[in-house]
Structure 1
Amino acid sequence: MPGNTLFYTPQGHMQNVDRKSKSRRLTREEFLARALEVLSQEGESELRIDRLVAALGVTKGSFYWHFENRADFVRSLARYWERWSTDRAVEELGDLEGEPKRLLLELHELVTREDLARYDLVMRSWATHEPEVAHIVESVDRTRLDFVGRLFRRLGYRGDDLDIRTRLFVVSSSMWSVINRNEDKDLRLKRLAAVLDILTHP
């Protein structure tokens, strides 16, 4: 609809938002979720305060209600992405109980089903010239590599075998959906399962 934009909610669902509507103040979570989608769809130039509030259909007062300044906003947005894309997956899979290969497959399924990698590429691009974002991206990489690495370690891998398998799994889980945006999710999961079979083949 004219004047309307589709945004992801904090739960990952699409929501139609009237850009011209200023009838209610966005919550902090809503603000960050929609700002992340603006970044993804329109680029970081749209994250300038004037442009961002116009894109979201809110006032500057709404921005400053939640954030002290742009630096606070950038830091908050990067941390929101970290929680949205990575921390939630680690929390959902819990304490790594269960058969390791099955947990790795469940991780692929979770990333695919919830589209958790959808912002990875734009965040990495932003990180090349935004130090605070680069710091968070490094934190995300450490968390992902540590989590996946522990599962491959439980499968008996050590040294280079462990490191290479861990990195290949993390890259495939993240970048597959970026490269193949229009791929059917069931087909994607089938192919990612085949990748996992290769990585865990004796």
Structure 2
Amino acid sequence: MVNESTRLSAHDWARAALKAMADGGLAAVAVEPLARTLGVTKGSFYAHYRNRDELVAAALAEWVRSHGDEALTELAAVADPARRLRELLTVVVQSVQPLAPSVHLSLLGDRNDPRVRDAVREVNRARLDLLSRTYRELGLPPDRAVSRARVAYAAILGLLHLAQTDPDAPNSAILAEEATAVFLPV
């Protein structure tokens, strides 16, 4: 809980909005409940944003930044494509925690909102582009590289979904090893 005298940043509000989105989609982003969660008054919110829509836009921009191209920069720089794929799958699968909410999956319920649709599309594009490039560098022809990337990405999203509903999900290290074995071309 933040002390009332502590001044929150716009970024603090955006992160809190993302957590609310993970728990309940766009509908869960409301100023008063967020202020209570953060332990501040609504005045703190209005010091940074004019309205809820600005907060939603900032939160979605933060999600795209932290899960799209910018977040993948370090992995994209790994020269060996097999190592890159192994690290990418390991990072993603190990971040999947049983019963943990997911911004990505929660946003799918709001996919008709143009802001959400654009943000999800941008994150999906960044991830699929990196996976496709990696599979091409591993020797797959371009069309197969794109198909393999889509299947790998679908499996990643499926693991996120299962983790939200299965308290007995296998250890993430085991899942990462299995994902690597399945999705690295022989």
Using structure 2 for the length normalisation, give the TM-score. 0.83
Question: Within 2, Cα distance between the matches of 1:87 and 1:22?
Answer: 36
Where does structure 2 lack aligned partners over 5 or more consecutive residues?
Answer: none
1:111 equivalent to 2:92? Answer yes
Give the match for residue 146 of structure 2: 163
Question: Within 2, Cα distance between the matches of 1:169 and 1:50?
Answer: 40
| 1:58 Cα deviation after fit | 2.1
Number of corresponding residues: 179
| Cα distance change of structure 1 residues 159 and 87 upon mapping to structure 2, 3 Å threshold | closer
RMSD: 2.4
1:80 equivalent to 2:56? Answer no
1:11-22 correspondence to structure 2 within 5 Å: 17=1, 21-22=3-4
1:54 equivalent to 2:54? Answer no
Residue by residue, what CA displacement relative to the aligned partner does 1:159-179 show, whole Å, maximum 9, x if unpaired?
431221010112222331331
1:131 equivalent to 2:131? Answer no
Give the match for residue 40 of structure 1: 22
| 1:61 Cα deviation after fit | 1.8
* Bigger relative contact order (CA 8 A; separation at least 6): 2
1:123-202 correspondence to structure 2 within 5 Å: 123-128=107-112, 130-181=113-164, 182=167, 183=169, 184-197=171-184, 200-201=185-186
**Structure 1 outlier segments of 4+, above 6 Å:** none
> Going by fraction, where is strand more abundant, 1 or 2?
1
Where does structure 1 lack aligned partners over 5 or more consecutive residues?
Answer: 1-16
Q: Contact 1:75–1:133 (CA<8 Å) still a contact in 2? A: no
3-state SS, counterpart of residue 97 of structure 1 = coil
Which amino acid is 2:182 matched to? V
Within the candidate set 41, 45, 50, 1:68 is matched to 50
3-state SS, counterpart of residue 176 of structure 1 = helix
Q: Contact 1:96–1:103 (CA<8 Å) still a contact in 2? A: yes
Question: Within 1, Cα distance between the matches of 2:78 and 2:25?
Answer: 36
